[in-house]
Structure 1
Amino acid sequence: MTITDVVVVGLGGGGSNVADEFSKRGFLGVAINYSSQDLGSLTYVHDKQKLLGSDGLGHDRQSAIELISEHTDVLTSFLHKHCERAEVIIVCFSTGGGSGSGLSTLVISILSNMYPEKAVVAIPIIPHNEESTTALINNQQVFEELSNIEGICIAPVDNQKAKSNCLSIGKTKIYNLTNQSIADHFYALYSYTNESSKSGSFDKKDFINLFKQEGYCSIAEVIDVAYWLEKEKLSLNPNNMKKLLRAVLNESMFAPIEYDSIGKAAIIIDTEDEDVIDNIDNSIFDDFANRPIDVFEGIYNNEQSNFLMVVLTGLSMCQTRLSEIDAILEKRQKELENLPRTNTAFKSKFSSLSLPSNKPVQKKEKMSTQDILNMYRKR
């Protein structure tokens, strides 16, 4: 059965791959792209929209806007068709490419304008530090534009985190793991809206209201609390649970968070260990400048692995990460400025050399056979 109250819109190659993972887990997922090859590689999405004018943009995000300007009706019709019934609209895209980054803020603005009552969640995927200068510049432009859109929730995924945590595997596998993790986090959270509990349930209204909060979002998921406590060398108490969550947030795939504000939060605890439940309270928010406006709790005992998830929304922009990319771009700009002037002219010392084969052949008088014979007779 398809989950229709949450729709996932994938933009470009990277975003569409994430939408494919959501669709694999039962969400309604659709993809929009200029590249027919990228769309053809998708397996699970429920619908695809091939945009006209190009078959790939090669990191040129401005071209995405220029090309779509003549076909906006096609785009809005496709979005309306699939998003009308949803309560939460998730838009996934890579910020470094052409199609996804170029279309991202336009699509989000259209959706926010069409459905001001719905929760619109942007999932921008930030390139890692070694990616091209163009990709990093595209990222900064996207975040500038996102900062001007009101009323949306932004959950920035950071490929630099994934690269740092998975040094021993290739880029393709890292991206696949990241895409799967994004879908897994949201599926795990959404799945609890169908669970009941005497101690407090996290329902669909909570899910919607959590992501209606404007600002940035991050998710900390602990599959086994006991394992993480041992890993961080912490005993089980409220203060150490706060330290544990901070450690998990630092290692998560989401961009580093800022602690100067928080809007809302969700706490999901699924364990048969009552000590874990008793040692998680609102003190986990002490690091923030304020307490959350609202905290949605769900306490269950279905898992024996001591599962814990904390979702934070209404955070400040990930300024630390964006400033890091600014510093990288500044360094690269200085490197380019210090390069010697490129010389494309070439003059060979031997381009006019006259080779023997190029000299005119002197005309040679023919000898008679008798003259040739006489040459040898003299011997």
Structure 2
Amino acid sequence: MVKSIGILGVGQAGGNIAEIAANMGFQTALINTNQRDGIVNKRVEKKFFVPGYNGAGQDRAIGLRAVNENYREIISFVQDTFKNIKLLLVAFSTDGGTGSGMSPLLIDLLLDNLPGINIGAIAVVPDRNVLAGNRINAAECIEEISKIDSLSSVFLVDNDQLRKLSPQSSKHQIYLSSNHQVMEAINNVLQVTKKSSFYGNFDETDLMNILGTRGVTIIASTAITDAKTSADVANKIQQSWVNSIFCPVESTGVIRAGVIYEGPEKMANLINVPGVFERVGEPLELFEGTYILESDPTITTILAGLPFPARRMKALEESLEKNKERLQNLVKKEHTQKYESRISWASNLKAKPQERKTGSITSKLSKYQK
């Protein structure tokens, strides 16, 4: 069965997310300025490599230029690739050159050229260990994404969340884990919409209503096996938001939400919706699904329409602010630095090859006459 969500990976990180999505049966494609990056994503069959480019070298301006010069071909590629989907999620890293530079403009263009399809984003936010250039890219990219009208759900995958949980993990391990977790979260809620229940279904229309909401979205699941009270359940759900792979919820303002319960009937009675949403505010619309199973009880929540995380972005930007003068001087230095030698006078002391002077035979003969 064709999934109603498609994944378009842009840049290396986006291509890696699309690779995982392809393994799960999603329609996928990737766009890159560097063919060597995208060629390793063997499960993604549809690929567009921007002609005349060999990567963006962490420069967002190059990614932006790639879209400006090739937008007709790129839009046509996307239109031809994705069929019978209701939501297209554009996946990319915010701190690089290709994905970060291309994606905001590309999303804006696709909103006008894919009628009937919602467009959202899976945007990867870097961890605290990245350098100044990556932080600048991420801040610029997220600001641009936040200003796009008619954009659907933005999933902000926060690598810092995994860094906190696994401080000894390599960058590759963190990237791989976060990419898998975001696609598993999306795939799991999509699979729930295919299930039937006597107690209330969470169907595809419910999911699309939630994911069509403009703003930041998170999906989180938690087991409630040892919960004894409604307060226990609410605390576990709220803690799942804190421990998810997405940027932490910072403030109230959920617009649409979903609550999906799977497990024994007796535990379902402990779900108290007002208590669950006490910290983030009751949503404008709530979609619920209850599936009675003889398995460990789990609750999955979807929060959509959240504000962009100002505190998380401040943490990303604060080291730039602290080092503002030094960073500005570095940029200035690149264009002005030079070295003045103090021994320019010594240039005349260099050994020079002897010049051979020629004379007439007569002069040479007379020179040696005694």
| 2:250 counterpart of 1:266 | no
Could you tell me how far 1:177 is from its partner in structure 2?
Answer: 0.6
Letter paired with 1:135: N
Q: CA deviation at 1:130?
A: 1.4
Deviations 1:41-77 (A, max 9, x none): 1022231111112110111111112233222111010
Report the Cα distance in structure 2 between the residues aligned to 1:303 and 1:107, rounded to whole angstroms: 46
Shift of 1:329: 1.3
TM-score by length of 2: 0.87
Query: CA offset at residue 303 of structure 1?
Result: 5.7
2:277 pairs with one of 275, 279, 285: 285
Q: What are the within-5 Å matches in structure 2 for residues 148-297 of structure 1?
A: 148-152=147-151, 153-222=153-222, 224-226=223-225, 235-272=227-264, 274-283=265-274, 284-289=276-281, 291-297=282-288
1:345 aligns with 2:326: no
Task: Report what 2:59 is aligned to.
Answer: 60
Question: Once the two structures are superposed, what CA deviation does each residue of 1:346-375 show, in whole Å capped at 9, x if it has no partner?
Answer: 7588x969x9xx899xxxxxxxxxxxxxxx
Separation in 2, partners of 1:180, 1:303 = 27
CA positional deviation for 1:122:
0.8
What SS does structure 2 have at the residue aligned with 1:194?
Answer: coil
Instruction: Report if aligned partners of 2:216, 2:305 keep a CA contact under 8 Å in 1.
Output: yes
Range with greater deviation from structure 2 (331-340 or 141-150): 331-340
Stretch moving more, 244-253 or 95-104: 244-253
Listed as ranges, the gaps of 5+ residues in structure 2 are 354-370
* Corresponding residue for residue 332 of structure 1: 323
Query: CA separation of 1:294/1:254 partners in 2, compared to 1, >3 Å: closer, same or farther?
Result: same
Percent of residue pairs bearing the same amino acid type: 26
Contact 2:79 2:114 in 1 (8 A): no
2:300 match: 309
Q: Counterpart of 1:195 in 2: which secondary structure?
A: coil
Preserved CA contact (<8 Å) 2:66 2:102 = no
Per-residue deviation, 1:112: 1.6
Q: Deviations over 1:6-50 (max 9, x none)?
A: 111001000110011111011111111111111111022231111
Whichever residue aligns with residue 159 of structure 1, its letter is: N
C-alpha deviation, 1:102, in angstroms: 0.9
In structure 2, distance between residues paired with 1:108 and 1:58? 22
Structure 1 counterpart SS, 2:193: helix
Pairwise CA distance, 1:119: 2.5
Within 1, Cα distance between the matches of 2:263 and 2:46?
Answer: 38
C-alpha distance in structure 2 between counterparts of 1:324 and 1:281, whole Å: 34
Which SS does the other structure have where 2:69 is aligned? Answer: coil
Distance between the aligned counterparts of 2:272 and 2:325, measured in 1?
49
Which residue of 1 is the match for residue 309 of structure 2? 318
What is the total number of aligned residue pairs between the two structures? 349
Per-residue CA deviation, residues 178-208 of structure 1 (Å, 9 max, x unaligned), is 1110110011110111111111111111121
- CA 1:359–1:37 in 2, change beyond 3 Å: closer, same or farther? closer
Aligned 8 A contact 1:28 1:46 in 2: no
Which structure 2 residues correspond to residues 114-153 of structure 1 after superposition, within 5 A? Answer: 114-115=113-114, 117-152=116-151, 153=153
- 2:309 aligned partner, one-letter code: C
Cα separation, partners in 2 of 1:4 and 1:110, compared to 1, 3 Å: farther
> In the aligned structure 1, how far is the partner of 2:3 from the partner of 2:329?
55
Structure 1 gaps, min length 5: 230-234, 361-379
Q: Deviations over 1:83-131 (max 9, x none)?
A: 3521111111000011101111112112222245433221110111111
Structure of greater Rg: 1
The CA deviation at 1:261 is 0.7
Q: Report if aligned partners of 1:158, 1:254 keep a CA contact under 8 Å in 2.
A: yes
Q: Is the 8 A contact 1:125 1:158 kept in 2?
A: yes
Kindly report the root-mean-square deviation, in angstroms, between the aligned alpha carbons of the 2 structures: 2.6
* 2:31 maps to 1:36: no
Asked whether the equivalents of residues 7 and 82 of structure 1 are also in contact (C-alpha less than 8 Å), the reply is no
So what's the TM-score if we normalise by structure 1? 0.85
SS at match of 1:197: coil
